[in-house]
Amino acid sequence: MGKVFAIAGGKGGVGKTTTTVNLARAFAAAGYDTVAVDADLGMANVGEALGVEHGGTVHSVLADEASVVDAVASTEYGFDVVRGTQSLDAFASADPANFRAVVGPLKQRYDVVLLDTAAGLSHEVTVPLGLADKTVLVTTPDVVAIKDAAKTGQLAKRVDGDVAGVLVTNARNDGYTRQVVSELANELLTVVPADERLVTDATVATPGSPVAQAYNELAAALLGTDHLPEPEDTYAHVAPDPPTIPAGLTPATVRIGADGTAMATTSADDESESAADAVVGTDGADETGAGDAGADAASTGAVAAGEADAERGARVDVVEESPASVIENAATEAGVDVSDADAPDGDDADTETDGDDEERRSALGRLRRLLD
C-alpha cells in the first residue's frame, strides 16, 4: 500500500503545484510508481502545467460520473496524473466528500500519491488533509505565507492529519531568508532556491539543477532517508548543461598581457584587427594603390600582419574561460547587463522593522509548535 502526501499551504502562489509536479518527478526518477492528483478543484492546473489534456478528470470522479482508473493519464516525466478541469459546471458538480473514492484505489495501485491542494481553508482542502498520511506545508520566506502555512497546519491537526514539516520555496541567499531557515530549525524539510524559469518557462525543474536536487532531498526526507538514488540519473543527479551565450552576444577570448592584465576581446574584435593589419603597412601609410604598387602593398601588408601576429603571440597568452565568464565578459563588451537585478546587495539590503521581525517570529513559532 502506498503513501499519500498532501502538498498544502494557505497562501496562493507559494509553489504548491510546482512542488507537487517536481516531487512526483523526483519519486518517479528514483523508481517509485507515483501519481499526482489535482485536488485544487477551483483552480485546477496540474494537467495544464504538464501538458496533459487527455483522460478523465478528478471532477468527474468526485461527481460520480467516472471511476478514478478512467481518470488516470500518463506524463512524459515517468509518473501519472489525475488532472482537473477549469469548468465552472464541473466545479459545481464535484463533491469533495468523495475524495476517498479517489485516494483509496490510487493508494492500492501506486507507491506514492501526491495531492495538490487548494489555497485557503475550505472543505476541499480539509478532506485531502484528513486522508493524507503526511502533509507538507509549503511557504515562501514571506511572513504572510508563513502565517497562512501555520493556519493550514492547524487545520490538518484538527482533522487528525500528520504534518511532515515545512518546505521553504523561492529562497534567496539573503539575510532574511537565512533567518527564517534558522528559526524553523528541525521543522524544515528542505529549501528550494529561487528559479525564475519555474515561473516564466516551465513547471518541471531543469534536470541536475539546484531546484531538482532540492526536490530530490524533499522526497528522501519524506521517506525517512538521507539519500534518494536514481537508477538512471534522469532528474536530480544529471550533470547540468553548460550555460548558453545570450542571443546577440559574441563569445569572448581572454588575452593575458605581459604585465598580467586580462584583456577580454570578442572574436569580432580579432577579425577587425586582422582586417586592419591586412591593409596597413609597417610605416603606417595607407596601401590603396593599383597595379604593381597594389601588389607590393598587399605583400607588405601580409608581412606586416604576420609580424603583428607574431608580436601579439609573444606578449599574450590565450586562456580558456568558464562558460559563465564568457557570458559575463561578452556582455560587458556589448554593454549588456545580464546580472540578477533581483539579487540582494549583501545583508544590508534586507532591512525590516521590529514589528516585522516580531510578526515573523510569531508565525514561525506557530509552525514549530505544530510539530512538537
CATH code of the domain containing 17: 3.40.50.300
Q: Give the number of domains in the chain.
A: 2
Tell whether 15 and 112 lie within a shared domain.
yes
Assigned domain for 346 exists: no
Tell whether 118 and 200 lie within a shared domain.
yes
Tell whether 127 and 260 lie within a shared domain.
no
Assigned domain for 141 exists: yes
The pLDDT, as a whole number, for residue 137 is 95
The pLDDT, as a whole number, for residue 266 is 52
Tell whether 225 and 259 lie within a shared domain.
no
Tell whether 43 and 80 lie within a shared domain.
yes
The pLDDT, as a whole number, for residue 345 is 44
Tell whether 289 and 317 lie within a shared domain.
yes
- Residue for cell digits 534518494? 228
Residues whose CB is less than 8 angstroms from the CB of residue 275 and which lie 6 or more positions away in sequence, other chains included: none
Tell whether 280 and 181 lie within a shared domain.
no
Tell whether 234 and 259 lie within a shared domain.
no
Whether 135 contacts 161, CB under 8 Å: yes
The pLDDT, as a whole number, for residue 341 is 40
The pLDDT, as a whole number, for residue 324 is 52
Residue 346: C-alpha distances to residues 48, 251, 324, 335 (Å): 38, 30, 21, 24
Tell whether 309 and 220 lie within a shared domain.
no
- Residue for cell digits 574561460? 321
The pLDDT, as a whole number, for residue 49 is 86
Assigned domain for 267 exists: yes
The pLDDT, as a whole number, for residue 317 is 44
Tell whether 309 and 363 lie within a shared domain.
no
Q: What is the mean pLDDT of each run of 10 residues along the chain (372 residues)?
A: 92 91 96 94 86 84 88 93 86 86 94 92 86 94 88 90 92 86 86 77 84 94 91 85 65 54 52 47 45 49 49 45 53 52 43 62 68 62
Assigned domain for 308 exists: yes
Q: Which domain holds residue 317?
A: 252-334
Instruction: Please tell me the distance from the alpha carbon of residue 6 to that of residue 131, in angstroms, as a whole number.
Output: 8
The pLDDT, as a whole number, for residue 241 is 65
Query: Which residue from 252, 270, 262 is spatially nearest to 325, judged by alpha carbons?
Result: 252
Tell whether 227 and 279 lie within a shared domain.
no
The pLDDT, as a whole number, for residue 325 is 57
Strand order through the sheet with 112-116: 72-74, 80-82, 34-38, 112-116, 3-8, 134-139, 163-171, 188-193
Assigned domain for 113 exists: yes
Query: Which residue from 277, 272, 285 is spatially nearest to 301, judged by alpha carbons?
Result: 277
